[in-house]
A and B are shown apart, each in its own frame.
Chain A
């Protein structure tokens, strides 16, 4: 193990390491801690200049209550949910199929198609912006959740296919051959042999895509406007102009907007990290 395990070091080193650890964490999360602190302060604290000290009273419920009951925030959160979930399902389904095709079969152009998916995934969004916005308007889907979902599915398919294909490549191929010898139809091999083995990959991708899509801001601004379809990342701008300079409410709003992916991460940590670090180890 590198660096040298701390247990093999002198006792003093161990103690200072354990003391330094929480300190480093606080330093690392300082901007976030400040915002969390803001979000439970009463308005009076900002008037009196008590910005960083302990809140003079804990107003957690009233601050977060106002976020939920006096603004469009719940709508934006629901929009985000209704955009994110179909995208996750769509992108995972499309890429599971594409990954199966690219991972199992040998045919001309296999590697080319695979590399096309990877390359497309790296492209800067801006080169897609004008045509995709046009297309969405032409399809009468501007400022709708469907418009956003369709684009997100298409774009995420690139990354997901890379992921799925590499995962399927690592599965034991003799299993598929055995099924073929038995005369099992190809689509049944996909459904009954490969798909059950792909559960960890499906879970990892679902969590990752959930986070990516929930946090998307650029496309939300390009393809939607107003509380009818906008997700929370874009809606928070409107929220912040509603509560201009009311830092306690703006902080509470931001925390609410950031929370679902954070919760997802802490609940599904293993899958999340497995997905993110795919390929980091040979």
Chain B
């Protein structure tokens, strides 16, 4: 009996495991370095900070487990009072959050002002924007000189209107506002550029149609333009909130937390506790950082949720 042999349709050499699973494996090979770096320097440290915040630790010797004692001391749970410095820092953070948001309408205002096509407007736009590119350290220095009681230009200007000199950064009730104003300068520039880009993409037909219907000025802005600027507003909101909670450079450069600790915010207070010359209190610092993290987390979840909605809508 003879059997007809089935011709061998397989390729001569068996393909390697990688070749067969290429599409499944490649993304992980490409992701590996980024994930490794990100995990080591960002993800794992978040967990470690939680752990450290439950200890008392000077950064060198052995850490002692203290449970939630750091948090109790910060928030004043039980017998003790709330940490006064923490309280000041927290309320300053709230001031930063609220006042920093002014950058969004201010940026929109300047963008509307500059959204014209006269000669040289491009140069104006870049010159209005470029404070954003300057490092916050230099912005801080520039503004602290601007505010100087004797040499500063600000006092010279308000002197023209007959007001006496004010020492903004030396006055505990004004210093924080002075720093926030300095921070608003680059932040407004950023929001402006976002809105300029957004305005560029506004649908001209809708604007014309609204004009024919008699819409103009504020009503046009509110009902026709702003809805189309929603993506720009979202990004402006995200970067402004993050900027407000990250405020550190300006405070460190302009007042170093003073006068009398009145300009501290959580991020600065945390740094001071952990690495100050009075000794390293890493555990206490980490506890402050954890609280700051939770404030941020509320916003992060909102941002991610919005982005997730977008992702699903986009598919």
Contact = CB atoms under 8 A, between A and B. Distances in A.
A217 B37 contact: no
B135 A215 contact: yes
A214 B274 CA distance: 25
A1 B221 CA distance: 11
B183 interface: no
Contacts of A89: none
A280 B194 contact: yes
A266 B116 CA distance: 21
A10 interface: no
A101 interface: yes
Given A51-B156, A94-B33, A107 B40 contact: no
A104 to B, nearest CB: 8
Nearest to A105: B27
A94 B32 CA distance: 9
B14 to A, nearest CB: 17
Nearest to A95: B34
Given A24-B113, A157-B38, A273-B193, A254 B207 contact: no
B311 interface: yes
B24 interface: yes
Given A30-B153, A258-B135, A120 B43 contact: yes
A33 B292 CA distance: 36
A38 B285 CA distance: 39
B172 to A, nearest CB: 23
A119 B304 contact: yes
Contact of B40 (A154, A161, A218, A279): A154
B22 A115 contact: no
A129 B197 contact: no
Contacts of A131: 44-45, 48-49, 52
A33 to B, nearest CB: 9
B35 interface: yes
A46 B198 contact: no
Given A119-B304, A128-B46, A277-B193, A101 B124 contact: no
Given A6-B116, A280-B231, A127 B289 contact: yes
A44 interface: no
B141 interface: yes
Contact of B137 (A29, A95, A215, A255): A215
B113 to A, nearest CB: 7
B136 A215 contact: yes
A35 B204 CA distance: 42
A31 interface: yes
Chain B: number of interface residues, binned into ranges: 35 or more
B212 interface: no
B49 A130 contact: yes
Given A97-B34, A217-B136, A218-B248, A126 B23 contact: no
B126 interface: yes
Contacts of A125: 246, 248, 267
Given A6-B116, A250-B141, A254-B138, A117 B38 contact: yes
A118 B220 CA distance: 35
Interface string A1-31: 1111111000000100110010011001111
Nearest to A22: B124
B128 A126 contact: no
Interface stretch (A56-64, A65-73, A184-192, A196-204): A184-192
Interface of B: 22-24, 26-28, 30-31, 33-35, 37-38, 40-46, 48-49, 52, 59, 112-113, 115-118, 124, 126-131, 133-138, 141-143, 145-146, 150-153, 156, 185, 190, 193-194, 197-202, 204, 207, 216, 220-221, 224-225, 231-232, 235, 238, 242, 245-246, 248-249, 252-253, 266-267, 270-271, 274-275, 282, 285-286, 288-290, 292-293, 296, 299-300, 303-304, 307-308, 311
29 contacts: A3-B115, A4-B216, A5-B116, A5-B117, A28-B128, A31-B145, A31-B146, A46-B151, A51-B150, A51-B152, A98-B31, A101-B27, A102-B31, A110-B27, A111-B311, A113-B35, A124-B289, A124-B293, A124-B296, A129-B274, A131-B52, A135-B41, A153-B37, A186-B23, A217-B135, A236-B141, A250-B141, A269-B126, A276-B190
Interface of A: 1-7, 14, 17-18, 21, 24-25, 28-32, 34-35, 38, 46, 51-52, 94-95, 97-98, 100-102, 104-105, 107, 110-111, 113, 115-120, 122-132, 134-135, 150-151, 153-155, 157-158, 161, 185-187, 190, 211, 214-215, 217-218, 221-222, 233-234, 236-237, 240, 247, 250-251, 254-255, 257-258, 261-262, 264-266, 269, 273, 276-277, 279-282
